[in-house]
Chains A and B, each alone.
Chain A
Amino acid sequence: MSISAPDQPALLTVRGLSAYYGESRALYGVGFTVEKGTIHSIVGANGAGKSTLLRAIVGMMNRGRAAHTAGSIEFRGRRIDALPTEEIVGLGVTMVPEGRRLFASMSVEENLVCGAFLPRCRAALGETLETVYSLFPRLADRRQQPVSQMSGGEQQMVAIGRALMSSPELILLDELSLGLAPIVVDQIYERIAAINRRGVTCIVIEQDTERAMRVATAVSVLLEGRVVLEGDPDELGRERVSAAYFGLETAGKAAGPGG
């Protein structure tokens, strides 16, 4: 390692990130940092660019004329914005995609084992598998079950487990609660907290702003492709965050109530 800076750089640093789908622009110079060991929530309305931001971090926006980005993304001080997805995953960043996207023809265990495709993960396969089963005991009982026969909550557990199989340092979680009952969402977020306690840094996209602020140690509000507010959720308070969410407050500066 050649990082000579006296103080530890942030785990993830995004600077001036713009993203485009063809000609249309989805992000406008987004910048934020994620410190190691935190849970960082990104909140914003539909179409604010949350999913695009996560997709850009894992290299899924590098699609030539179909989609591309400008700006820089650094993971542990190293530029990753031009790397293909599989190499970014190799460095220790992964994503649980929106809608779970499990491998439909496979069993629970096959899905999990797929997550450990990287050579560095294969050696520790048995161990990581046990870790995932200890986090989600329900999956251990259903190892051989086809994922297509499972409930949405169980599928979400498989998707999170599959992402953990690559032993990531940073995991991006896109809309975990989509289509799930509130009680199941509670269980899933309780597990996310457990995963975070094991030292995995998380970036979370969550529609439910209140929940997003409760689980997070840092929050960024996206509005129409720009970060309009960020900070500690307790210091910001719910009212400022929801004002920013609806565009009533910009760049962290309070606007008059009622706009």
Chain B
Amino acid sequence: MNEDLYWTFIDIANGLLSGVMLGGYYAIIAIGLALTFGVMRLVNLAHGDMLVLAAYLAVLVLQFVPISPFITLALVIPVMFGVGYALQRFLLNAISVQSMERKGMSAGFGLMSPILVTFGLSIVIAHALLGGFASDARIIRNALSYSAVRLTEDLNLSTLRLIFFVIAVAILVALHLFLRRTHAGRAIRASADDAEIAPLMGIATPKINALASGIAIAIAGVAGVMVGMSRTFQPFDGPVFLLVAFGVVIVGGLGSIVGSLVGGVLLGITQVLAGTYFGPSAQLVAGYILILFVLAVRPQGLFARRR
């Protein structure tokens, strides 16, 4: 076999493999944003900061108890669920379109307010983290950082990425089943479809919105710990992950779990292949080119739900 051709093949195969793995991780970063928008019709600009908050939470736990970072999830998930639930129940529900109308404000206020409030929240979280942890770059150390799974002599996978991918797919499948098979999950979808009519089913929409937000932020928490295990992070890194999440959502389409995974995988493959051939600086550019391309060709995203 032609030596050059072989190495081209190996490069592409390696790129595709790690791109797919990266995609699972991207999907998990984005799904909370997509869920929040799908149900509450609000864009949580503090979404990225929620990831960073969760990463610092894991750091904090590990300072006291030397356990595997994966075990910190047992605390991170419920705490972040509580944060998401409380955020929606006590802050965002109070400034929703319906609440603004109640106060005699125009619907436009209700659309704008969550953007301003979550933007402010993003700043508050970043500064609180700065105050608590200083601006040093952190990483969640773990035994698997340099380990790889060898598929063939020249084809291999980062063990960490593989584990993240499996966790990501497991979370997406669990979320899909929850939304399809449970009363609470169907209530979330009903509110997303028609928030005015859902109460006629006996659904208390403020509580259901808070539940959806709790789930979204809990998943963001898992993503945050993954982020912290695979790269360094600082208090002001939130917007970086918000941008990744936007990218995935634009490519995959809002309101679709499959879309988040496919969007994540496409973005992951594009970035890794661009990195392989054009150097690390091409990664971001390639990602944005893909996003622009999708916006031009199919602005609703590849898997957008019909409206």
Contact = CB atoms under 8 A, between A and B. Distances in A.
Is B a genuine binding partner of A? yes
Interface of A: 22, 58-60, 63-66, 84-86, 89-90, 94-95, 97, 101, 103-106, 110, 113-115, 117-118, 121-122, 148, 162-163, 166
A259 to B, nearest CB: 40
A54 to B, nearest CB: 11
Contacts of A97: 197, 200
A118 B202 contact: yes
B186 interface: yes
Nearest to B104: A65
Interface in B182-233: 183, 186-187, 189-190, 192-194, 196-197, 199-205
Contacts of B237: none
Interface string B238-260: 00000000000000000000000
Contacts of B103: 64-65
Main secondary structure of the interface of A (DSSP, over half): loop
A110 B189 CA distance: 10
Contacts of B101: 63-66
B200 A85 contact: yes
B202 A166 contact: yes
Contacts of B193: 103-106
A125 B133 CA distance: 52
B156 interface: no
Contacts of B104: 22, 64-66
Interface string B75-108: 0000000000000000000000010011110000
A166 B187 CA distance: 14
Interface in B95-142: 98, 101-104
B102 A117 contact: no
B306 A94 contact: no
A156 to B, nearest CB: 14
Interface of B: 98, 101-104, 183, 186-187, 189-190, 192-194, 196-197, 199-205, 305-307
A89 B200 contact: yes
Contact of A103 (B102, B183, B190): B190
Nearest to A89: B202
Counting chain B CB atoms within 10 Å of each CB, the highest count among A63, A86, A94 belongs to A86
A148 B98 CA distance: 27
Given A104-B193, A114-B190, A163 B102 contact: no
A93 B307 CA distance: 30
27 contacts: A60-B199, A63-B98, A63-B102, A64-B103, A64-B104, A65-B101, A66-B102, A85-B200, A89-B199, A89-B200, A90-B202, A94-B200, A103-B193, A103-B197, A104-B193, A104-B194, A104-B306, A113-B186, A114-B186, A114-B190, A117-B190, A118-B201, A118-B202, A121-B202, A162-B201, A163-B200, A166-B201
B183 to A, nearest CB: 6
A117 B187 contact: yes
B200 A105 contact: no
A118 B204 CA distance: 10
Contacts of A104: 193-194, 306-307
Nearest to A111: B190
Nearest to A105: B193
A65 B193 CA distance: 25
A255 B255 CA distance: 58
Contact of B194 (A86, A94, A103): A103
B194 A117 contact: no
A23 to B, nearest CB: 10
A101 B102 CA distance: 23
A148 B307 CA distance: 10
Given A103-B189, A114-B186, A86 B305 contact: no
B44 to A, nearest CB: 22
Contact of B189 (A105, A122, A148, A162): A105
B196 A115 contact: no
A35 to B, nearest CB: 24
3 shortest A-B CB distances, which residue pairs?
A64-B102, A65-B104, A85-B199
A97 B205 CA distance: 18
Nearest to A90: B202
Contacts of B307: 104
B194 A101 contact: yes
A86 B102 contact: no
Given A104-B194, A114-B201, A117-B186, 15 more contacts: A84-B204, A85-B199, A86-B201, A86-B203, A89-B201, A103-B189, A103-B190, A103-B197, A105-B193, A106-B189, A110-B186, A114-B186, A117-B187, A117-B203, A162-B201
A117 B203 CA distance: 7
Nearest to B197: A101
A84 B197 contact: no
Contacts of B202: 86, 89-90, 117-118, 121, 166
A110 B179 CA distance: 11
A155 B197 CA distance: 15
A241 B212 CA distance: 50
Contacts of B190: 103, 106, 114, 117
Contact of A115 (B192, B201, B204, B305): B201
Counting chain A CB atoms within 10 Å of each CB, the highest count among B103, B201, B204, B306 belongs to B201
